[in-house]
Amino acid sequence: MRGSGEMGERQKMLVLYATQTGNAQDVAERVGREAARHHFKPVVESMHLYDANELPQESVVVFVVSTTGQGEPPQSMRAFWRSLLRKSLGHRWLESILFAVFGLGDSGYQKYNVTGKKLDRRLLDLGGQAVVPRGLGDDQHPSGFEAGLDPWLAELWVALRQHVPLPAGLEDRRPDETGNIILDPPKYRVTYYDSRAPESNLAAMRERPKTDIVERWVEHGRARAMVDSAGNPFGNAREHNSNSTGYGPPSMPVFAKLLTNSRITSEDHDQDVRHIELELGSSIELELGSSGTRYVPGDILTLLPCQNHASIDKFLSRCGLDGDTFVTVEAANSDVCTLTQAVDVEFTSEKTVVSLRTIVEALMDIDSASPRRYFFEVMSHFAEAEHEKERLQYFSTPEGRDDLYRYNQRERRTVLEVLEDFSSVQLPFEWLLQTVPRLQQRSFSISSSPLAHPNEAHLTVAVVEWTTPFKRKRRGLCSSWLASLDPKQGKVFLPVWFTKGAISLPSPSVPLILVGPGTGCAPFRSFIQERIALSNKGEAVAPVLFFFGCRYKSKDFLYRADWSAWSKGQNVLSVEVGGDFFVAFSRDQLEKIYVQHKITEQGEKVLQMMQSGAAIYVAGSADKMPADVLSAFESVIAKETGWPQDSVSKYLRDLERKGRYVVEAWS
């Protein structure tokens, strides 16, 4: 048994998480809250801030990890994972620790929750003792990932007590007089300043940059830095970054000028797809002493969307907040719940102050993301109307989980909508800041080649629209915002930065088989442009087979003129050089035809290209397409070679391991 159980002594519990969208961080913080209620001493930390070499010194560790893309760990986990895979680590390296793993994934992907599964096996290999079997949360479950989380956590606390005795004289839960779990202390302390103070007194409001876009970015960056440094609700002394991934917005991105924003689907088509062209190294960049940022085919362009100003005004009004009030955000005392009221405090040169409006704009997704369950739990403590309090308390329980999922996640209700539904709730800003989902950056595959379009980056953006089960119309925050931008109405600049994608263009001598239905064609437009540009310079390039898919030839045949031009003469899609272009129109006939059907039809040509050393790249929707395409390749190989199924599967696994079968898919 671990721990002595003496009065007042609490066992430390380390909770490590790796997240891409914030779900794993949310689960980790819930584990931390419940651990404190069970009288553990929790330390919650992102994996990118933790040195894996220190693991053998820990006693109890809970890991919460997401699986991204087609089975990759989040970026914040990759260095940690490489450390665990070192061959020098023995089978007894972690024999002193108790551990538990909870994975978050989506069973719609081929490699469901593979990160959590691999981590669990590796920890066992290194001698760790699993407290409970690994838990797996599935976004596809009718109740979301919490359907797996609730029973797993209940089992975890029971199992841990068999190893770590409860300190004498304490009970495992801390109910209030009504029998409900009391509200945890907030992790932030907010100090309010008189908004009428002259700007000359605001030491943090330094000389303003020359352009509005830079000024806004700097102010938003200061807000993010202040809140991130305020930190961790569980007393970790390490530098804390609430961005959670460790790969958040840079201090100074590229300020790209919008050149073109045109619809490339027909006006009568129900899907609005945009072709966007951005100029890099703009006049703003030159003023800042930067010459722009280079990218290569396969890279990702990332940006933070701008929230609707009317929605921000509505949120501030609903919450009784003056957006022009300046505040500081600091770490609260973890032992005492202190809610600072608005006071008239003088500014000092040591303080970093930002307006409430800036914090909401920069950090808080108030009109796009659905709040998490803890938001409803906190709201229940501030509800004045009894019927609202009862409903919120019910939503906060495992028994109310399914009803909450139907009300909240399935309808994609926003924070603003939930606050309007529960009108008697007035949350202090400390709690809003802690529980409102963070505004997430969005990433897009770049659809241009820097050789073909120097100092530019092109995007292919589908405007996201859908109808909820209760027939409510929804639009994606970022895609709708991008679609609304009009360079004809004046200069428009976007702060952007570049990251590596899952796919990258191999050597020009490697033949390519590309499968990219819909906007999945974006990275392959970049690939083909790059090879044509190299060919025009006199370099030898290998041919390309490209399988594209859309619904209607007349409505959403994206970049039709490009594919046609690049299929002629000596271009890489031309039959004359060994390439080809195939398109599947799924709705132009009674029987639906998809890219996988075209692959099967062209089986002989596909296998010849594979046998010549081709690399296969698949991009597009993560729903069923990647699995269907893989099955098509399996069918082609089996039919053309006569190999048994196990040999075909092994062949494709080998290609994947060698980086010659790569999938980049998104929900």
Q: Binding site for NADP(+), residues?
A: 519, 586-587, 592-596, 628
Closest CA to 518 of 247, 292, 264: 264
Q: How far apart are CA 648 and CA 638, in angstroms?
A: 6
- Phi, psi dihedral angles at 417 (to 5 degrees): -65, -40
Closest CA to 269 of 589, 590, 556: 556
The DSSP secondary-structure symbol of 460 reads E
Q: How far apart are CA 282 and CA 296, in angstroms?
A: 19
Closest CA to 29 of 330, 329, 242: 242
What are the counts of helices (DSSP H) followed by strands (DSSP E) for the chain?
Answer: 20, 22
* Both tokens assigned to 44: 């919650």
Can you say whether the dihedral through the CA atoms of 50, 51, 56, 57 is positive or negative?
negative
Q: How far apart are CA 645 and CA 411, in angstroms?
A: 42
CB 9 within 8 A of CB 40: no
Cα dist from 60 to 162, 174, 228, 529, whole Å: 13, 22, 26, 52
Closest CA to 217 of 34, 358, 13: 358
Residues of the binding site: 19-24, 66-69, 139, 412, 442-445, 476-479, 519, 586-587, 592-596, 628, 666
Residues of the binding site for FAD: 412, 442-445, 476-479, 666
Residues of the binding site for FMN: 19-24, 66-69, 139
CB 396 within 8 A of CB 440: no
- Reduced to 3 states, what is the DSSP secondary structure of residue 625? helix
Under 8 Å CB-to-CB from 2, ≥6 apart: which residues? Answer: 11, 59, 60, 98, 163, 164
